[in-house]
Amino acid sequence: RNFTGSQKPGSKLSNENQNRQTDFSARRQKILQQRKSLPIASVEKRLVEEVRKHDILIIVGETGSGKTTQIPQFLFDAGFCHDGKVIGITQPRRVAAVTVAKRVSEECGVELGQKVGYSIRFDDATSSSTRIKYMTDGLLLREALLDPFLSKYCVIIVDEAHERTVHTDVLMGLLKNVQHARSNIVSDGQRSNSENTNVKSGMSLEKENGGQRGSFLRKHNNRKYAPLKLIIMSASLDAQVFSEYFGGAKAVHVQGRQFPVDIFYTRHSVADYLDASLITIFQIHLGEGPGDILVFLTGQEEIESIERLINERLKQLPESSQKLLTVSIFAALPSEQQMRVFAPAPSGFRKVILATNIAETSVTIPGIKYVVDPGFVKARTYDPSKGMESLVVVPTSKSQALQRSGRAGREGAGKCFRLYPESEFEKLEDSTKPEIKRCNLSNVILQLKALGVDDILGFDFIEKPSREAIIKSLEQLILLGALTDNGELSDPVGIQMAQLPLDPIYSKALILASQFNCLEEMLITVAMLSVESIFYAPRDKLEEARTAMKCFSSPEGDHLTLINVYRASNEFLEKRSMGMGNAKGEKALRKWCKENFINSRSLKHARDIHKQILGNVEQMGLQIASCGDDMLPYCRCLAASFFLNAAVKQPEGTYRALASGQVVQIHPSSVLFQQRPECIIFNELVQTNNKYIRNITRINYLWLTELAPQYFAVQN
Ligand code: ADP
Ligand code: MG
């Protein structure tokens, strides 16, 4: 609509403008009221005082009390951001950083990316005027590589610390040192200058009076830094562990508001929790009073399949019962769709929110009265003796189950349906094991090395990973060429690998690909491997989906198949001369995806990631070439990159992973499921009842000794 024409007062357009303004101020009024009614609003003054008094503060408060959205605003209003300094808030999850930033920018009445912004891997919505910046914990770790003092921050809030993700744990160690260093520089920077001559590059995480600290100060001694305020926020009542780690730091508790929640269990164990969820959702919908339903699932695939099932079943109901609206929230959901979970359902409708454990504590969704909790979560596990990390669906802990049921009692009494017998609850672990105890550490170690932390075993972890896991990961980094045999960051490979925001094994693949003249292909590969399930096959259209997939499949394996999909989507857009990014192009692409049984959300995410890492490798000056129609160099490059994940066929048709000795099977979704080549590399291990491998390409056995002699010549 054209708004430029001159309009007389009282004319239709200016009335509309006025209406819009009234709408706008009504909405602002409502938001203001919501803010005022949050439990945390009444303690604003006290909290600000505590932050002024203490350099480290631990804030514990129930989910929904207003910690994440309000505290940064309190501090901003209290004048903490003088001299253009920034308040940084870290989140373990991308989705949380994005949705919370959007909400807070709305609360502040500013455009996202101005005063309030977010920054996550592959997506940055900040500007020089950003003062309240939400980001992932991993991203702040990366920022420390470029700015060891994190000098632009006046306050850093580590949110959701109870989640104990590996990045949160490492970040706390790092921040402890940055804070220490910043206050020391202000007080005795000059004096330290002459104390030490051992100059090293980068950030040194000092041991008290150790040699490294002097060099660190020496390098930066001309600058003065304001002290850094640190706030650790957690939804679990157990603040002790954080307080102790930060030398007896003060902890304050914020009262939450919690209404009673009735807990229901199943009488017997359920065979299929997706099926049981579906039944429960409809029992609530048809039998219970108004209120939205929140269902906890383990990942995108589950969410999308149950979403389809709900909508199919709805069609079979009489029209009066069809008023159920599904919305979902998970990490890979494009950010413009993430906000849909927060919008109230249309009048007369009930909303059912299908979420991963993002909805456990990270985001608070209003309107929920019913929680369906199958009792599972997808978690990383790592077996250091085998050097293999995998994603496994495991039972939640007791504290997770309690958090989940609590989501039903935020605004009034609620109900939680646990899809397991009560006796099972008693058997659950009390709390979840910190991730650092169950993941491959090579990523973290590479970053710490790049930050100048030489002694990984001596690093001040809040909870130390096992010695075995550290050593295994160091070994892996040496095998990948990121570290020298002495454990130092190699130049240039290690330095380049640390710059890329990817798992070391993928960073290495990109670097190698520039030598194999197939970087163009490898960029697509890495982007496509970074997202969950590109293909989808609805139960009722399995055959059609298989036929569609055949159009893309490559006899070499899944990697080339993924490249074919990506390139076909490019061609589709080019043919219609539509770029991605414009709404028309995206809509057309969604349609194309649907016709080809491709998950459009995943593909879009992969395209975004591709753009970002292309930018990264261009900046690094890597040679971007394509191997054209000859796929041999590309397949060889896969072997050279993923040799740690090579497997050979066993007589009975299973595979033996060479590095770990584990017996694994090709996942039925692989294009090589039928063919079963003699020797393969794979990218993912999924553990259900069986150990399945996914994303597989056939290779020649001899390539391994040729291209990875550092590993195979010795072993074999
Ligand atoms: P905490 O961090 O303590 O768990 P939050 O600051 O995330 O609490 O949430 C405070 C309140 O803000 C909640 O009651 C929630 O309902 C509301 N809220 C948060 N994000 C949104 C949003 N995007 N839309 C509507 N309400 C929201
Ligand atoms: Mg929060």
Ligand nearest to the CA of 62: 1
Residue with the bigger pLDDT between 216 and 425: it is 425
Ligand 1 pocket mutation pick from 37, 69, 258, 292 by most atoms within 8 angstroms of CB = 69
- Name the residue with the closest Cα to ligand 1, atom 10: 66
Q: Which residue has the higher pLDDT, 579 or 165?
A: 165
Name the β-bridge partners of 72: none
- Surface-to-core class of residue 404, CB atoms within 10 Å of its CB (0-12 exposed, 13-18 middle, 19+ buried): buried
Bridging pattern class, strands 679-687 and 663-666: unpaired
What is the residue-wise DSSP string for 327-341? EEE-TTS-HHHHGGG
Give yes or no for residue 47 having a pLDDT over 90: yes
Q: Taking 70 as the threshold, does the pLDDT of residue 111 lie above it?
A: yes
pLDDT tens track for 471-508: 999 999 999 999 999 999 999 999 999 999 899 999 99
Question: What's the Cα-to-Cα distance from 279 to each of 42, 306, 349, 423, 694, rounded to whole Å?
Answer: 42, 11, 19, 22, 31
pLDDT at 611: 93
> In the structure, what pLDDT confidence band is assigned to residue 13 with cuts at 50, 70 and 90?
low
Number of C-beta neighbours around residue 287 at 10 A: 7
pLDDT band at residue 540 under the 50/70/90 scheme = confident
For the Cβ of 39 lying below 6 angstroms from any atom of ligand 1, the answer is no
pLDDT in tens, 313-326: 999 999 888 999 99
For ligand 1, whether the C-beta of 204 sits within 6 Å is no
Ligand 1 and 362: CB distance under 6 A:
no
The two three-digit tokens of residue 495, written as one number: 């330095």
Q: Flag the least confident range among 109-118, 425-434, 537-546.
A: 537-546
Would you tell me the crossing angle of helices 94-108 and 67-77 to the nearest 10 degrees?
50
Structure tokens at 390: 């995998």
Q: Is 406 in the pocket of ligand 1 (CB under 6 A)?
A: no
CA separation for the pair 598, 201 (Å, rounded): 47
The whole-angstrom separation of Cα 91 and Cα 100 is 10
Q: Which residues pair with 134 in a beta bridge?
A: 89, 118
Of 364, 365, 368, 403, best ligand 1 pocket probe by most atoms within 8 Å of the beta carbon? 364
Residue among 306, 436, 453 nearest 380 (CA): 436
The CA distance from 400 to 377, in Å, is 9
CA distances from 687 to 237, 376, 380, 394, 669 (A): 33, 14, 11, 10, 14
Q: What mean pLDDT value characterizes the chain?
A: 88
* Burial status of residue 507 (CB atoms within 10 A of its CB: 0-12, 13-18, 19 or more): buried
pLDDT at residue 681 greater than cutoff 80:
yes
**Residue 589 pLDDT greater than 60, yes or no:** yes
Ligand 1 atom nearest 342 alpha carbon: 24
Beta-bridged to residue 418, according to DSSP, are: 265, 373
pLDDT confidence of residue 477: 96
Ligand nearest to the CA of 341: 1
- Per DSSP, helices labelled H in 480-533 are 493-499, 504-515, 519-529
3-state secondary structure of 604: helix
Instruction: Kindly report, residue by residue over 266-320, the tens digit of the pLDDT.
Output: 999 999 999 999 999 999 999 999 999 999 999 988 998 999 999 999 999 998 8
- Could you say which ligand is closest to the alpha carbon of residue 72? 1
Contacts 24+ apart (CB under 8 A), 479-488: 479/644, 479/710, 479/711, 480/442, 480/504, 480/505, 480/508, 481/508, 481/710, 482/442, 482/446, 482/508, 483/446, 483/449, 487/449, 487/454, 488/449, 488/454
C-beta of 67 in contact with ligand 1 (< 6 A):
yes
Residue 459 reports pLDDT greater than 90: yes
- Using the mean position of ligand 2's atoms as its centre, give its distance from the Cα of residue 531 in Å: 26
pLDDT of the residue at 199: 31
Determine whether 658 is exposed, middle or buried from the number of CB atoms within 10 Å of its CB (0-12, 13-18, 19+).
Answer: buried
Q: What is the CA radius of gyration of the chain?
A: 27
Is the CB–ligand 1 distance for residue 103 below 6 Å?
Answer: yes
pLDDT digits (tens, 9 = 90+) for 411-452: 999 999 999 999 999 999 999 999 999 998 999 999 999 998
Helix, strand, or coil here: 716?
A: coil
Q: Cis peptide leading into 366, omega within 30 of 0?
A: no
Question: Is there a contact between 353 and 281 (Cβ–Cβ < 8 Å)?
Answer: no
Which residue's CA is the closest to the ligand 1 atom numbered 18?
Answer: 364
Predicted confidence at residue 35, as pLDDT, reads 93
For helices 442-450 and 467-479, angle between their N-to-C axes, nearest 10 degrees? 70
Position 78 scores a pLDDT of 96
Query: Which stretches of 100-228 are assigned E, i.e. beta strand?
Result: 116-120, 123-125, 132-136, 153-158
| DSSP at 182 | H
Residue matched to tokens 């989501």: 407
Q: How confident is the model at residue 195 (pLDDT cuts 50, 70, 90)?
A: very low
Q: Ligand 1 atom closest to Cα of 63?
A: 4
pLDDT for residue 188 is more than 70 = no
Is 366 close to ligand 1, i.e. is its CB under 6 Å away?
yes
Q: Taking residues 616-627, report their average pLDDT.
A: 94
Q: Which of 473, 170, 643, 506 minimizes the C-alpha distance to 483?
A: 473
Q: Which ligand is nearest to the CA of 66?
A: 1
Strands (E), 616-666: 646-649, 655-657, 663-666
pLDDT in tens, 350-397: 999 999 999 999 888 999 999 999 999 999 888 777 777 778 899 999
User: DSSP class of residue 550?
Assistant: H
Percent share of the chain, pLDDT over 90? 70
Residue 338, pLDDT score: 85
pLDDT band at 192 (very low <50, low <70, confident <90, very high): very low
- Residue 212, pLDDT above cutoff 50: no
DSSP-derived 3-state class of residue 388: strand
* Side chain identity, residue 103: R
Whether 63 is in the pocket of ligand 1, judged by its Cβ within 6 Å, is yes
**Ligand 1 atom index nearest CA of 70:** 6
User: Is the per-residue pLDDT at 572 higher than 90?
Assistant: yes
Measure the CA–CA gap between 366 and 344, rounded to whole angstroms. 8
Q: Which of 13-22, 85-94, 406-415 has the lowest mean pLDDT?
A: 13-22
What is the C-alpha to C-alpha distance for residues 491 and 481, in angstroms, rounded to an integer? Answer: 10
pLDDT of residue 578: 63
**Is 72 a pocket residue for ligand 1 (Cβ < 6 Å)?**
no
CA-nearest residue for atom 16, ligand 1, is 366
Q: Relative to the CA of 233, which ligand 1 atom is closest?
A: 2
Ligand 1 centroid from CA 58, angstroms: 20
Q: Which ligand 1 atom sits closest to the C-alpha of 103?
A: 23
**Taking the C-alpha atoms of 133, 138, 144 and 147 in order, what is their torsion angle to the nearest 10 degrees?**
-40
For ligand 1, atom 13: residue with the closest CA: 64
pLDDT at 26: 85
Buried b (16+ CB within 10 A) or exposed e, 255-275: ebeeeebebebbeeebeebbe
Please say whether the beta carbons of 307 and 324 come within 8 A: no
Are the C-beta atoms of 710 and 479 separated by less than 8 Å?
A: yes
Q: Looking up tokens 């290779």, which residue turns up?
A: 699
- pLDDT for res 224: 67
**Residues measured by CB to lie within 5 Å of ligand 2, the ion:** 67-68
ipTM, interface predicted TM-score of the complex? 0.98
Q: Which runs of E-coded beta strand occur in 126-221?
A: 132-136, 153-158
What contacts 78, CB < 8 A, 6 or more positions away?
A: 48, 52
